[in-house]
Amino acid sequence: MTRWGMAIDLDRCTGCEACVVACAAENNIQTVGEEQAREGRAMHWLRIERYYEGEFPNVRTRFMPVLCQQCGAAPCEPVCPVYATYRNPEGLNAMVYSRCIGTRFCANNCPYTVRVFNWFDAEFPAPLDSQLNPDVSVRPGGVMEKCTFCVQRIQAGKDEAAQEDREVADGDIRTACQQSCPTKAITFGDLEDPDSGVSKWAESPRAFSLLGDLDTRPGVVYLSGSEWREPAE
Partner 1 sequence: MSGNESKRGEPRVTIGRRDFFKVYAAAGVAVLQGCRRRDEEWIESPARRSTALPGASVWRRSICGQCGAGCEIEVRTVDRLAKKIEGLPSGFVNAGGVCALGHSALQELYHPDRVTEPMRRGASGELEPVSWEEALESAATAIMAAPEATTVVSGAPSGPLLGLWRRLAAVVGAPPPVHWQSADLVVEREAARLTFGEACRPAYDMARADYVLSIGAPFLDGWRSAAHFAGAWAELTADRRGKLVQVEARHSLTAANADDWLPVRPGSEGFFARGLAGLLLGSGTVGEEERAAYEMLFPEAPPDLTATAERCGIDASRIERLAAELARSRRPLVMVGGSALDGENGVAAGAAALALNLLLGAVGREGGVFAGVDFGFEDRLAGDADAAVSPAALADRLDGAGESSVLVVSEADPLHGMPGFEAAFEGAGTVIALSAFFDDTALRADVVLPIQTDLERFQAVEPDPVRGMPALLIASPTVAPRGEARHPGDVALALAAAAGSALPWPGFQEAVEASLSDVFTATRADAEDAGALPESLIAGALNARQFVRRTTDAGGLVGTAGMRRAPVRSAQVDGDGAPAGLPDPASMPAPAAPAGVESFTLIPFESVKSGDGRGANRPWLQELPDPLSTVMWGSWAEVATEDADRLGIHTGDIVRLTGTAVEIDLPVIVLPTVRPGCVGVPVGGGYADYGRYARGRGVNVNVLLDANRRVAGVGAFAQSGVRVRVERLRRPRRSERPVIYGRGLRQAEEIPVGWAPHDGGKA
Residues numbered 213 to 232 that lie near partner 1 (CB under 8 A) are: 213-214, 217-222, 226-231
Distance, CA of 164 to CA of 144 (rounded, Å): 36
166 binds partner 1 (CB under 8 A): no
Among 8, 20, 68, 173, binds partner 1 (CB under 8 A): 20
Find the shortest distance in angstroms from Cβ 101 to partner 1: 27
Among 52, 96, 159, 166, binds partner 1 (CB under 8 A): 52
Residues in 177-196 that interact with partner 1 by CB under 8 A: 179-185, 191
**137 C-beta neighbours (distance < 10 Å), count:** 15
26 binds partner 1 (CB under 8 A): yes
Question: Interface mask (CB under 8 A) for partner 1, residues 53-92, using x and -?
Answer: x-xxx-xxxxx--------xx-------------x---x-
Taken as a whole, the chain contains a residue count of 233
Instruction: List Cα–Cα distances, 210 to 107, 123, 189, 195, 222, in angstroms.
Output: 17, 33, 19, 23, 7
Q: Counting beta carbons within 10 angstroms of the beta carbon of residue 60, is it exposed (0 to 12), middle (13 to 18) or buried (19 or more)?
A: exposed
CB 163 within 8 A of CB 155: no
**Of 131 and 195, CB closest to partner 1:** 131
Q: Cα 96–100–104 angle (5° rounding)? A: 120
Residues in 96-125 that interact with partner 1 by CB under 8 A: 111, 125
**Of 15 and 102, CB closest to partner 1:** 15
Q: Which stretch binds partner 1 (CB under 8 A): 97-105, 138-146, 161-169, 202-210?
A: 202-210
What does R_g of the chain's alpha carbons equal in angstroms? 18
